[in-house]
Chains A and B, each alone.
Chain A
Amino acid sequence: MASVGQSLPHDSATGHVTGAARYIDDLPRLDRELYVDFAGSPVAAGRIRSIDLTAARAVPGVVCLLTYDHLGGPNHFGPIIPDEAFLAEEEVVYVGQPIVVIAAETPAAALRARQLIVVDIEERKPVLSIDDALAAKSFIGPERRMMTPGAESDADFEAAFRSAPHTLAGRFVSGGQEQFYFETQAALSIPGEGGDVRVISSTQNTTETQAVVAEALGLGMHQVVCECQRMGGGFGGKETQSAIPAVMTALVVKQTGRPARLVLRRGDDMRITGKRHPYQTDYRVAFAADGRLIAAQMAYYSNGGAFADLSTSVMERTMLHADNAYHVPMLRVTGQVCRTNLPPNTAFRGFGGPQGVAVIESLLEDIAQVVGRDPFDVRRLNLYRDGDPARSVTHYGQIVRDHVLDETFDRLAASSNYRHRVNAVTEFNTTSITHVRGIALTAIKFGISFTTKFLNQANALVNVYTDGTVQVSTGGTEMGQGLYTKIQQLVADEFGLPPSRVRMMATSTEKSNNTSPTAASAGTDLNGAAALVACGQIIERMRDYAAGLFASTERGLVAAPEHVVIDDGAVWDDRDPSHRIEFGEFCAMARRERVDLGARGFYATPGVDYNRETGCGNPFFYYTTGAAIAEVTIDRFTGELTFDRADVLMDIGRSINPGVDRGQVIGGFIQGVGWVTNEELRYNDAGHLLSTGPTTYKIPNVTDLPRVLNVDFIDNPKHQKNVRQSKAVGEPPLMLGICAWMAAKNALQSLAGDKRVELAIPATGEELLTRMTALVGQAVPDAVGTSQISGRR
């Protein structure tokens, strides 16, 4: 039976539930292994006057203390712009920025040394917010622009606004989000021969880790191996910043010749690593009396932190998702990354998409309010229309095709009983004076592919052994998303084997070179496809060999590779099915005849091409789409939000593993809900993060899960692309979590009458209560009669 399409358990599930699955901190201690720690900047901005290591050096058990001048290579790195120092030189630019790396025989000695390091700093006033940065003109990279082909003329664009029946303008604010992977950033570096280093890293990006370590140590890339068996969660946070512990431990290896390990404390991890970018968006939109979009302009500003990291790429994805699932006839967007004195913000599931999607979804809610229509109808009216040339082209010129957005909306409205529930919510709000309820739908159309073209490649190594078992290695890393499981299923089907005979091996730069990070939801698309290419090469050789085996002059069978069947754990010729050779036996025979049973496959996504300078082209191979409806109840006294129900419907193509994909959808969705509700990063005026652990930073708890949660998938026979006609699923559902925020906004709108509801992301209890109090003077009226319920639906 084919295993693609089956809900096989995660390939490490047994290891997960028994505790046998190993993470970096679980690996056995090595002989003479050192504990690594670091001392970071106590201030957000300043100039280092001196570093006094005397007292720290005297701590028993301290083996070495390293500053930037111990580096063997250049002290700067960065995936896009190499502006980031491994260790601070003269300037410190964010709180916790590493200055001294410490290695010691025990964690206690390392910690003691850290406490005794004295860094004298001339403090400067930090730039912390986007407004600070705008005032100081503190930017990373140039402002980028994108506009609808045909909207280039300023005169036409302004005319559209002047002649439109309605316009709205304002500013939209969304906060950052901590990845909160459970396994903190961690690495173990081990010395090899001739100065080589092996780095075992919790990373989404083995190649980048290899390159950065080589650079920092002044080694060739061929002297560094980076491997990753699994991560305890990544979510984008380990796409570039996993380099921090990797470089620190590798430096210690170079200095001491001893193995070295660093597993960041949660507080350190939260303080010094980057997060989802906070955004501020100035917008204006013009629309018709029925709510149809005419023109829109968005100016996005992101808080990039102190170094470039991936910020310009994140901004690009925001700009490419300004439209979300909606056709905007004239759309102009600009994007500017701001440089501030926060840790460099980085990738986080969605990669700028959420910040763009939230703005247009919020606008559509406002537009519905202005034109007096149900927001569902206004959204549906504005959807991209498959096959309609006038409503299919994005602002960057790509055609949105082969989608089922209309059908998704209609099916979701029916299955969730949307119309009836809208009435019930209105009814509730006219009777309850203690609580207010809201319901809303939001959609997603998420572009799949790296927007940086060259990253859309992958390679894989497939080795078949003489007992008929198979090992597979790819450049894709496993962070819980089920990549290994899906590739295992794909490969098992190629050879007609049960998946138990295919084993996924740790990702390693020794086996897969020049890999892309496991990111952009494209892990299976790229690495699965590369594995299939490798399988295809082996199978072709097997067929050629088998054809000779099954040829028989007596029975009139000429050698015919096209008649060879490799399936059900055996090999045969379909003209003589009774003569079967068990697959393992066949492999042993093939080896004896000098048939190569190993192959490396290479895959490059076809057809993606995008010009960053002009903002035009086809950045995406295809889109993953969906929609979700949320209903929430808000306590008018406290602002506390209860998530009553969610209905999620997505087109994820033909699922390779529905159980895994369901987990991706729900997990991503709830992560998105966390972003828009309770996950709040608080800093003090000096740029110190206050929410540095789960005690003060609140990711969703099981009791925050909606009471009713329906998740379903919609068929899309039009989608014929991609590996086994599947679709990427990692990031898109996160943005559907925005529906919970939209439902809260909808609830507040019922209190606001004709006023516009301003609401920021995240809508914490504090944000909701503050907004409600501002809307109605006091949060709770004396009786229903005095409340301001619009009841306009």
Chain B
Amino acid sequence: MRNSLVFYVNGDRHEVRGEAAGRTLSDYLRGGCGSPTAERLVGTKIACAEGDCGACTVLVGKTAPSGDRLDYQTIDACIAFIYQLDRRHVVTVEGLQEDSRLAPAQQAMVDCHGSQCGFCTPGFVMALQGLVEESDDRGPLADETLRLGLSGNLCRCTGYSQILDAGKRLDPARVDSVAKQYDPAPMLADFAALGDGPVRVNPRDTHQLNGHATAAPPVEVFLPSTLPELVEFRADNPDAKLVSGATDVGVQFNHGKLAPVAVISTTGVAELQHLEVVDEELVIGAAVPWSRVEAFAKHELPAYHAILTRFGSPQVRHAGTLVGNLANASPIADSIPFHYVAGSTLELASVGGRRDVPIEDFYLGYKQLDLRPDEVIIAVRTPLPAENVQLRLYKVSKRRDMDISTVTTAFWLELEGDLCAGARLAAGGVGPTVVRLPRAEEALIGRPLTLEAMRVAGRIAREEITPISDVRGGADYRLQLVENLFAKCWHEVRGNGILTGSSG
């Protein structure tokens, strides 16, 4: 079994084991890539260390499904770990220039006064290049594409306007992919030669034998490639931290709240990459990043897609996963209310076999899961709404984008003519776990779906929840929000619609 991690940085091959395997990518780059003589790649900046500003944005290329190219996407380097980068190609802002000529994204930022203090600028440059990489038609970047595409990058100086100007000046048709600068063929050949098998770095037993007790041993890393390998290692290492996108693990690590002795990175497990509709059920594998779900849901489940575009940031959605969000079990996890009302089922696996758990039974209390130490979540199955179902998902947060919910709600209303034949409702941010609202549901079922009925249900819902006051909002505000969202839902489903067009 391979006992080192192999990846490329700006075209240079890196082979890593030991302490560096457990470092964040930004730390690794800025610290000289584990070598005292290598250039310190300090262009990747740290402004928050929690994946919430984008100053550390880099591109990561991974082998495309076709196997003949590398596909590049942006991630936040401050919350990505080296062990997640096996057989990847990292491109940093230093790697974007060719022959000391500015890359087009860089030149556009210079020409449009897109930088002031300059600290967030490398992140914006990489995000702009990322939009070019992801552009299907290589057409000019539309205002909306730019705004959403850059919403994972904060800037305190410019007010963004001149950065948007730079994005509009950029002509993707005339911008080379980084794949043109860094010939993928040798890297692909190297990755292929390394093979798809499992990787185990820093196994704990050897370190214990060394007997150096003073320094903490480096984190043990296991990268299974198949489900049997995953569950077997999991059974033997119940203390290992399961990691897929690390978008929350990275934050906790940086805050000193989490320092696992061992990690299992699930990204390479082929069985966890499923994303398909089977028998009217959407199946999302445990290692499928949000960005894939987002693209898939655009046609299959538009309401889900709409709220997904406001999950985290583009960088976070390129890395994070649904299963990570569910397993992290935050009461304000954006995804959970939808899966509650949809009646999703979690597929769990262990060496002992498999079992299915309905999502509502999975959460036993605040961050308490029906998940044995030897089990892993491998997929989530979600029934798609029938035609008579009105699905409405709401996320209310202080800031529209790149924010965590104050309150989330999900409405799954089965309509038969004027009648509400079925109702499943859920709310998050209103207690220690996401909750269904059974009394409010009861108040709706079997009755005409009128505004008054929804108002009554909203008032009942208020009594079913126990929100607290915290940094994201007061308890009274949350109660009022939940009540009001019932009325908002009615206006969207049955009212004259929502009038929002700008008079500008």
Interface residues of A (CB under 8 A from B): 7, 9-10, 12-23, 25-26, 28, 60, 111, 180-184, 230-235, 265-267, 421, 424-425, 428, 431-435, 437, 479-482, 631, 633, 635-638, 640, 642, 644-645, 659-660, 662-663, 666-671, 678, 680, 682, 690-691, 693-696, 698-705, 707-709, 711, 764-766, 769-770, 773, 779-780, 782
Contacts and interface: CB of A to CB of B under 8 A. Distances in A.
Interface stretch (B175-183, B356-364, B485-493): B485-493
Interface stretch (B145-153, B273-281, B285-293, B299-307): B145-153
Given A435-B500, A691-B471, A701 B402 contact: yes
Given A19-B122, A690-B471, A702 B498 contact: no
Interface in B422-469: 451-452
B121 A17 contact: yes
A9 B109 CA distance: 9
Interface stretch (B1-9, B41-49, B130-138): B41-49
B115 A10 contact: yes
Interface stretch (B62-70, B156-164, B203-211, B225-233): B156-164
A699 B154 contact: yes
12 contacts: A14-B102, A18-B94, A18-B122, A182-B119, A433-B491, A434-B495, A481-B116, A696-B472, A702-B401, A707-B502, A764-B398, A769-B480
B420 interface: no
A708 B106 CA distance: 25
Interface in B10-41: 30, 40-41
Q: Which 7 A-B pairs have the closest CB atoms?
A: A19-B43, A480-B117, A16-B118, A232-B119, A670-B159, A480-B116, A182-B119
A770 B477 contact: yes
B212 to A, nearest CB: 12
A707 B504 contact: yes
Given A230-B118, A266-B50, A637-B481, 13 more contacts: A9-B111, A16-B109, A19-B122, A182-B156, A631-B504, A644-B503, A680-B398, A693-B48, A702-B146, A703-B400, A708-B502, A708-B504, A769-B480
Contact of A766 (B93, B125, B452, B473): B473
Given A183-B119, A638-B484, A690 B110 contact: no
Most chain B CB within 10 A, of A111, A435, A631, A670, is at A670
A564 to B, nearest CB: 36
Given A17-B102, A183-B47, A183-B119, A678 B157 contact: no
Given A14-B102, A18-B97, A480-B116, A26 B151 contact: no
Contacts of A434: 488, 491, 495, 498-500
Contacts of A703: 147-148, 151, 400-401
Contacts of B495: 434
Given A17-B125, A434-B499, A702-B150, A695 B52 contact: yes
B404 A25 contact: no
A158 to B, nearest CB: 41
B413 interface: no
Most chain B CB within 10 A, of A19, A266, A671, A773, is at A19
B436 to A, nearest CB: 21
A637 B485 contact: yes
B355 to A, nearest CB: 35
A266 B49 contact: yes
A28 B37 CA distance: 12
B239 to A, nearest CB: 21
A435 B151 CA distance: 25
A702 B402 CA distance: 10
Contacts of A233: 116-117, 119, 156-157
Contact of A265 (B49, B122, B488, B503): B49
Given A232-B118, A645-B502, A780-B487, A701 B162 contact: no
Contacts of A709: 161
Given A180-B156, A640-B396, A703-B400, A13 B109 contact: yes
Contacts of A13: 109-110, 113, 115, 118
Contacts, number: 278
B150 A766 contact: no
A698 B159 CA distance: 14
B157 A698 contact: no
B243 interface: no
The A contact surface, by secondary structure, is loop
B382 interface: no
Contact of A19 (B42, B147, B153, B474): B42
Most chain B CB within 10 A, of A17, A670, A766, is at A17
Contact of B504 (A431, A644, A711): A644
A705 B160 contact: yes
A232 B45 CA distance: 10
Contact of A638 (B122, B396, B500, B503): B396
Contact of A480 (B47, B107, B157, B476): B157
Interface of B: 30, 40-50, 52-53, 55, 92-94, 96-97, 102, 105-107, 109-111, 113-122, 125, 146-148, 150-151, 153-164, 214, 251, 255-256, 394, 396, 398-404, 406, 451-452, 470-474, 476-477, 480-481, 484-485, 487-488, 491, 495, 498-500, 502-504
Contacts of A181: 117, 156
A631 B47 contact: no
Contacts of B502: 631, 633, 644-645, 707-708
Contact of B115 (A16, A25, A421): A16
Contact of B159 (A231, A671, A708, A779): A671
A640 B32 CA distance: 45
B46 A704 contact: no
Contacts of B102: 14, 17-18
Given A9-B110, A18-B94, A666-B158, A694 B118 contact: no
B181 to A, nearest CB: 15
B159 A482 contact: no
A775 B106 CA distance: 50
Given A7-B113, A19-B43, A428-B499, A694 B48 contact: yes
Given A637-B485, A695-B404, A705-B159, A663 B113 contact: yes
A680 B163 CA distance: 25
A690 B470 contact: yes
Contacts of A680: 398
A28 B451 CA distance: 65
B400 A640 contact: yes
Nearest to A784: B496
A663 B503 contact: no
Nearest to B501: A428
Given A666-B158, A773-B480, A695 B110 contact: no
Contact of A633 (B47, B400, B488, B500): B500
B116 A482 contact: yes
Contact of B503 (A14, A22, A428, A695): A428
Contacts of A636: 484
Nearest to A232: B119
A64 B181 CA distance: 48
Nearest to A114: B256
Nearest to B116: A480
A637 B455 CA distance: 12
A662 B113 contact: yes
Contact of B117 (A182, A764, A773): A182
A14 B101 CA distance: 10
Contacts of B115: 10, 12-13, 16-17, 480
B110 to A, nearest CB: 4
Given A18-B97, A707-B502, A480 B118 contact: yes
Contacts of B47: 182-184, 232, 266, 694
Contacts of A701: 151, 154, 399-402
